[in-house]
Amino acid sequence: MAKKLKGIAAAPGVAIAPVVHFHTTLDHIPTYKVGPGSVAAEKQRLSQAVAEVAAGLLALQKELTDQIARHDVRIYDAQLAILHDPTFRRDVENEIGAQGVNLEVALQRVIARYESVFAAMESTAMRERAADVRDVGRQLVGALLAKARTKYIANGQDYLFAADEFLPSDAGLLDRKHIRGIVTAHGGKYSHGAILARSMGIPAVVGIEDVMLESTTGTTAILDGDAGVVILEPTWEDLNHYDRLLRERRGLESRLAELRLQPPVTTDGTQVSLQANVEGVQDLQALDMASIAGIGLFRTEFAFMERRQFPTEDEQVAMYRRAIDSAQGKVVTFRTLDVGGDKPLGYFSMPEERNPVLGWRGIRLCLDWPDILYTQMRAMLRAAAGGRARIMLPMITSRSEVVRCREVLQQLVDDLAAAGVPYDPKIGLGVMVEVPVVVAVLDDILPIVDFVSVGTNDLVQYLLAVDRDNQRVAKMYDPFHPGVLRVLQQIAGAAAAAGRSASICGEIAGDHWFTPLLVGLGFRELSMAPVFLPRVKLMLRSFSVDECRDLAARAVAMQSAAAVRRLVQEKIRVRWDRFVGGSHEEARP
């Protein structure tokens, strides 16, 4: 039976291959007492181990020089710096002399202390540097025990690397010709292992805690590095679908490269604004800003979740300003703090809730704790001085909530003006449409906002009363449901009638099978994870607006999601196949 495991998308791409388990720890570390007369010998052992590990890292760095980006090769400089750091060496030697322990034990203790220092840092990127320290310690102990890990020989077979974590030195162990993907129990999107995976073009999913327990060496698996999903023992339907994606990806590569700077327009010249969803400044810095219209969703909560206390106003100003500067004059839409539900803050006490997704989250929390909202909005106003930014409110359910936020914004504008502090007096204010009741009162809200953006992930979940993370009912979560399409049509129509822009920033914006339907329903702004932008652009350039309207009209008139999917299969996929040179057999939108 297929088992779907959800993790963190660390490197894009899709892979299908058997899992191979790799064990990243040494089984036995010797422990013995060291007398004063033996300390010098232990120090000499340390010198020899450092020299051996440094030589290995330099060789690996040289080996990878022509295979990955030059700045990514410098990742190994961080480990070399640790090896040659006099403070590190002194700490290890002091541990041997003061505690009378052998070098292996001293290394373990010092590395553990260093790791705890990194773990206490506020920056996620810096916390993930603990993996470099851990990797150096592992290599040193391996050298001391003469147990250097040998290269994996795949014997000509494709495989998925599975381990507790993927550390930089692991790159030297791989059969890089046959590795198809990386899946780990631990690690983060900005760890050096994840950066290397992206640079080597290896799809990766990290943070699946049970992957080593749920799988064995030889287990067939699908790794989806775009969605952050691993499917163990996939069904024929799963294999068929992802095999199709792989073949499609190969056919797409040349087409997508040609499209990079082509405008996102329909065949009859109608412009559609394609924007990116990002989780932080790191994501934004990696974007090709020349190929997109801006940032349609900047999830500010991730910066809060990375910290151990609320960021100050000045800290937020610096973060938002870096984002605006990175956008190179294009608009950045900042969503105000959306924590609660599945995104708690470790330093902020929140009540236990039976159903947190429907509980104290988003704008509800911020209006109950106005200091949070005041500080964040003030920081956004200040950061936007001389740039382009918009503020978007999540989990709105009524006009009165928007009015209260408007009042806060106006008060902050007045205060900044009186104090002579630079700010953006024209910053836009919009709302997310994700709670179904908002659709019924949208005509009341539109006059007092500048734009709306549809968060389809929650909206579809609420409309269908389906928890998409619940395996028993997840198959009922279907955005192609005609009722969902009719609601989206209603939103786009109301916004157009009020002269307001309406965008989609949920997952369906990045689903290219949806693109003609969304354009036909009236949406001219789509914001998505950057990895999906090229496909959406290609699909957009394959249809005219009239064709999109015809498809949307037919879809909303249907009586089942299955019927809509057949329409996609018969009309949209056939066009797509013609453009990418594939076949349309065994298809599943």
**Catalytic residues, which ones?**
192, 505
Q: CB of 381 within 8 A of CB of 412?
A: yes
Sequential DSSP letters for 74-92:
THHHHHHHHHT-HHHHHHH
* Interstrand relation of 501-504 and 525-528 (parallel, antiparallel or unpaired): parallel
Number of Cβ atoms within 10 Å of the Cβ of 86: 7
Write out the two tokens for 362.
Answer: 């988003």
Which residues, listed in sequence order, are joined to residue 3 by a DSSP beta bridge? 232
Q: CB of 124 within 8 A of CB of 188?
A: yes
Sheet of 204-206, strands arranged across: 3-6, 229-232, 220-224, 14-21, 159-163, 179-184, 204-206, 8-11
Cα 332 to Cα 149, 246, 284, 298: the distances in Å are 47, 33, 10, 7
Q: How far is CA 485 from the centre of its chain?
A: 27
State the residue for tokens 């495989």.
Answer: 159
State the residue for tokens 């019924």.
Answer: 440
Can you tell me the distance from the alpha carbon of 578 to that of 566, in angstroms, rounded to the nearest whole number? 18
Name the residue type at position 170: D
Q: CB of 134 within 8 A of CB of 78?
A: no
Identify the CA nearest to 577 among candidates 354, 302, 251: 251
Contacts of residues 51-54 at CB distance under 8 Å and 24 or more positions apart, as own/partner, are: 52/143, 53/83, 53/136, 53/139, 53/140, 53/143, 54/80, 54/83, 54/84
Q: Which helix (H) or strand (E) holds 307?
A: none
Three-state secondary-structure class, residue 190: coil
CA atoms within a 13 Å half-sphere pointing along the CA-CB vector of 363: 25
E-strand ranges in 419-512 read 428-433, 451-454, 501-504
Can you tell me the distance from the alpha carbon of 216 to that of 229, in angstroms, rounded to the nearest whole number? 17
Q: How far is CA 443 from the centre of its chain?
A: 34
Name the residue type at position 540: L
Name the residue type at position 280: G
Sequential DSSP letters for 123-174:
-HHHHTTHHHHHHHHHHHHHHHTT-PPPPP--TT--EEEEES---GGGGGTS
Identify the CA nearest to 320 among candidates 367, 412, 389, 266: 389
Angle at the Cα of 72 from the Cα atoms of 333 and 182, rounded to 5 degrees? 85
User: Directed axis angle between helix 573-580 and helix 533-540, to 10°?
Assistant: 100
